[in-house]
Chains A and B, each alone.
Chain A
Amino acid sequence: MADNAEILSGLAEIVEEVAGIDAADVSTEKSFVDDLDIDSLSMVEIAVQAEDKFGVKIPDDQLAELKTVGDAVSYIAKNK
């Protein structure tokens, strides 16, 4: 089972691929919308890729709750 650091680095790769943000800038305290400037369309793509990568389900109502990178890492860790 992957630990949180592995999830973070995997998620950062996805964010870089979809939104072009340097993976090194994707840290737990960052807000997807306010800090990383990721729009709702890109969030959908990121969620679909994260589901595939980590084998989790991220329903739409959950996705809306994942405000920061840390929120997403915790959710994935808990629901894998």
Chain B
Amino acid sequence: MSTPPDVVVTGYGATTPLGGDAVSTWDALLAGKSGVGLTQGEWVGKYDLPVKISAQLAVEPTEILARVQARRMDRCEQVAVVAAREAWAHAGSPEVESERLAVVIGTGIGGAVTLLAQDDLLENDGLRKVSPLTVPMLMPNGPAAMVSLEIGARGGVHAPASACASGAEALAWAWRLLRAGEVDVVVAGGAEACITGITVAGFVQARTLSRRNDEPERASRPFDVGRDGFVLGEGSGIMVLERADFAAARGATVHGKLAGIGLTSDAYHITGPDPEGAGQTRAMAAAVRSAGLEPSDIGHVNCHATSTVVGDVGESVAVRKALGEHPVLTAPKSALGHLVGAAGAVEGLIAMLSVRDGVIPATLNLEDLDPGVSLDVVAGEPRKVELSAAMNNSFGFGGHNASLVFTRP
């Protein structure tokens, strides 16, 4: 059997609370900006919810998409198409047989906003007012399918749903497809846009959101003793991944290598992480092993760390078990908020850029490190550091653990 091919990243795109594209997101992150603010929306005044903050998009996707294209899509499909279009152009619009091109885009919630709006129409105005596009707009494979139409991908369209790990899991499945030789190019990532009354209320009832309404920019504070929950965000991150030989043959610019992945599950509790962090530890170890590396090679971990009391410390314990004391940590959700199904894709991209550019963005609002963490977390200023390999972690409700290892090309 021949050696599986290396998997390289030749293009990327994003739309996030920090910027309407990948470059502005990365620049804002390095500049220490926050994407968190008071939630804007027609629904906000309707309910007196105790959480009034979120991380909403910096640029509305409807400003970029043609009007008719936008009206046929749920917002989570819109952000996926915006980010995928950027990624595809960034990769140089690869010439690839359509049957050898796949899409893997995950979402945590999918088209909830469409479901709610159409249910209101059914309730108030009856059947005739319900859009015939309701199902294609709300289905969780919608973002992946819309992107497949955009780029003409006929090698398979997949939509992993693993809550907050969906985006990372999508990149992991892209890696598996490419390693197995099933396709030559995969457009992969995550998309989420579900900041609305019921999702905020649901997260509030699960006691997971920060209530620091009077200081939105200081609300997301992973690893800080004053943390009180995450900040719900929205956006999309998409990468173009290729077999290394395919990318080399077409002379593509390579930004990094997705060297290894680890996907595990806890089977412990539907929302709570295993307190021993066993599943997280196994995911990290598997990612290192599949990359053909040793734990000592991982100089940096771009953490899942959402700013919840239990989760952040648990992850740091699992990092120590799986990798040791040496990795330098950061928590991009301090600036981005929690992009749910897009988080792993956007943050995986950030981890890859840290390796490429030799700089780790700071964790915002880290003023008083939780004593349970006892690892080096970048705070204050971005840190310049030569990295040969970095890890991204994403964990999701349902006990999903996804770890990705990026190396230099």
A41 to B73, CA, bound (A): 13
Cβ B132 vs Cβ A45 within 8 A = yes
Interface size counted on chain A using CB atoms at 8 A: 10
Size of B's binding interface in residues, CB under 8 A: 10
A37 vs chain B, min Cβ distance (A) = 11
- B128 and A41 form a contact (CB under 8 A): no
Tell me if B131 is interfacial: C-beta within 8 Å of chain A: yes
Q: Whole-angstrom distance from the CB of A59 to the nearest CB of chain B?
A: 12
Residues of B within 8 A of A20 (CB): 66-69
Contact for B128 among A18, A19, A51, CB less than 8 A: A51
Contact B132 A41, beta carbon cutoff 8 Å: yes
In whole angstroms, how far apart are the Cα atoms of A42 and B128 in the complex? 14
Q: Does B154 contact A (CB under 8 A)?
A: no
Within 8 A of B (CB), among A22-80: 40-42, 44-45, 48, 51
In the complex formed, the residue of A with least CB distance to B66 is A20
For A18, the chain B residues whose CB sits under 8 A away are: 68
B129 touches A48 (CB 8 A): yes
Name the one of B66, B68, B128 contacting A48, with C-beta atoms under 8 angstroms: B128
Q: Which 5 A-B pairs give the minimum distances between C-beta atoms? A: A20-B68, A44-B132, A41-B132, A48-B128, A41-B133
Question: What are 13 contact pairs spanning A and B, CB under 8 A?
Answer: A18-B68, A20-B66, A20-B67, A20-B68, A41-B132, A41-B136, A44-B132, A45-B131, A45-B132, A45-B133, A48-B128, A48-B129, A51-B128
Q: What 10 additional pairs, Cβ within 8 angstroms, besides A20-B67, A45-B132?
A: A18-B68, A20-B66, A20-B68, A41-B132, A41-B133, A41-B136, A42-B132, A45-B131, A48-B128, A48-B129
